[in-house]
Chains A and B, each alone.
Chain A
């Protein structure tokens, strides 16, 4: 902490003042039991989801426990393992000398399926698994072809080249390929996360401001700091505490993912940094509006009503994600995603879909940052006018009139 002011002269600048206010906010929040209880619950829920989905996930494709019979048993086993691997499945294959031994292993439950080339039968312990059947078919075909080619006098490396043609790649007419579903999923997840966080953390700011006004401590504070300094410190401090909680949640999510055994598409990882940028800017924008709403009321009971317009705007932006957000290439989508109150929710969606041009993202960010500055200054002015006016709720119109009235 270098305040640059080691002397005891009252030369506290805006930056140092904001830092003092923010530091108190963080310290007091970290001192409250509720912070740990809430974080703990969050971690438990997230881990619970991971553990839960592991048990659900066990019903999916697992290891194939197979048995092969006959003179070609070992080669068949190798071919099955190789084919299964190409299809992202694991196979554990045992070879038996005779059909009878293999069948008794199947009945004993040592294996789930037996391939008996002599009978041209694939025998399953219970349900017939079509994918396993296809794997065996493919494996059996390649072993048979290999035998045929060997009989025809081809050298092993020639056989190899015949049996392993170049791998085919999948492509789509849809340009970027079949990842649209994943992009929509990523964008939707980001929007849900942003919406919930903005609402929650904005709510913290709202009740924090009302606390200061309802306890009248604000009068003492305004004797020492400017209203906009107090506002910035509060928003930043709560933001830092919120980010700590957010980080704990993300860490828990990673553990949860590992526990669940689900593979994470790489697109999710690349979406995280940009989501963070939109979260920070969106938080700054909305939390200051929530603070403005909080400054109008003197009791916690009135806070919800005063913040209704802000919440409506946030919900409106959220709804847009699920309407125009699903047609990310449209002009409406493009224009809306650059408007400050909408950008933090809609732009991540369009970016995930690959529909947002760099300039659009830049314009959206510049507009958003500019409005954050504007909202900060406006709220600071309203703050200074209304924080000492306790009693009945002040109307938005009255607040703007007061702010316009004087500097």
Chain B
């Protein structure tokens, strides 16, 4: 189990991390969310022991993370980086060996991952000759090589097409099912909602929200009334904040105790309603509320309340 406790880091005047704590268990996928500059990358670097902290600890199974421990952590930095002129296979084997594997073990897991990612045919090509999508796959393989205990992936899906995202998230699920703990940061909130069991949302270096996605949604102090008109229909209501991209489909954010029937009745009076719904806010709405300094109060839900 990865346990990050009270990380604090100051860069001059800027308080980059302020008492950041989080936990990732084996077999669990935790989404690490936050606007740019919130402190996600710094936290992930701290987990990999790449930056020294002013305060706080990072432990794996209760022991402080050292070089030997973090060689069992797969890492994908926000800034992708590989030796452009190295051959794909050489690069993976080299990295496997730096992780402490024997030459034969490193070669075997390299071949296994090249196969899984459909890169076997490119094994002897230089990295720089690969398309950016394939380079991203190699970067993935570097992190996943040799059954890591923990995966720390900073924006793993950035710049990938939907098919690649699908394949790679399946691979990630397999790794996690095997017992790997996975912490990933992403701006693709639908995806996070789909693959992650828990989320930690940071803003300005502080954790503002944490918990299981489903619990966060149901515990939210707001609900969404969705209304779809047959044609473009101007509508404004006093019941809550109104959102619409096309003037036809509306999402109205209402308080949790609002009767949705009243809102829908109001909509029917405006025009031809062909569909409606009532649900907790989705993850992106919770996220926006948590970091957007909106009228909604950040909530703390789930097992990891501090």
Contact = CB atoms under 8 A, between A and B. Distances in A.
Contacts of B45: 219, 388
Interface string A1-43: 0010111111110000100110010011000100000000000
Contact of A8 (B73, B86, B100, B142): B100
A32 B86 CA distance: 10
Nearest to A24: B94
A22 to B, nearest CB: 12
Interface in A250-270: none
Contact of B67 (A8, A215, A226, A388): A226
B97 A20 contact: yes
B95 interface: yes
Contacts of B52: 406
A216 interface: yes
A224 B79 contact: no
B71 interface: yes
B83 A217 contact: yes
A223 B73 contact: yes
B232 interface: no
Contact of B81 (A9, A12, A217, A224): A217
A100 interface: no
A8 B105 contact: yes
Given A17-B98, A216-B79, A223 B85 contact: no
User: Which DSSP category, helix, strand, loop or mixed, fits chain B's interface?
Assistant: loop
Given A10-B72, A216-B80, A388-B50, A224 B98 contact: yes
Given A223-B70, A224-B71, A216 B81 contact: yes
Interface in A209-238: 211-212, 215-226
Contact of A225 (B51, B81, B90, B98): B98
B98 A221 contact: yes
Given A28-B83, A223-B48, A226-B67, A216 B77 contact: yes
B68 interface: yes
A334 B75 CA distance: 53
A390 interface: yes
A77 B81 CA distance: 80
A10 B71 contact: yes
B101 interface: yes
Contacts of B85: 28, 32
Given A11-B68, A406-B52, A215 B83 contact: yes
A12 B98 contact: yes
A220 to B, nearest CB: 6
A24 B83 CA distance: 11
A315 to B, nearest CB: 31
A390 B79 contact: yes
A7 to B, nearest CB: 8
Nearest to A211: B83
B15 interface: no
A11 B84 CA distance: 28
B99 interface: yes
B82 interface: yes
Given A20-B94, A215-B83, A219-B50, A11 B77 contact: no
A153 to B, nearest CB: 90
Interface string B233-254: 0000000000000000000000
B129 interface: no
A28 B84 CA distance: 11
Contacts of B51: 388
Nearest to B11: A389
B100 A9 contact: yes
8 contacts: A10-B68, A20-B94, A28-B85, A212-B83, A216-B79, A220-B77, A221-B98, A223-B77
Interface of B: 45, 48, 50-52, 67-68, 70-73, 75, 77, 79-86, 90, 94-95, 97-102, 105, 142
Q: Which 9 A-B pairs have the closest CB atoms?
A: A216-B81, A10-B100, A217-B81, A216-B79, A10-B71, A224-B98, A12-B100, A219-B77, A223-B75
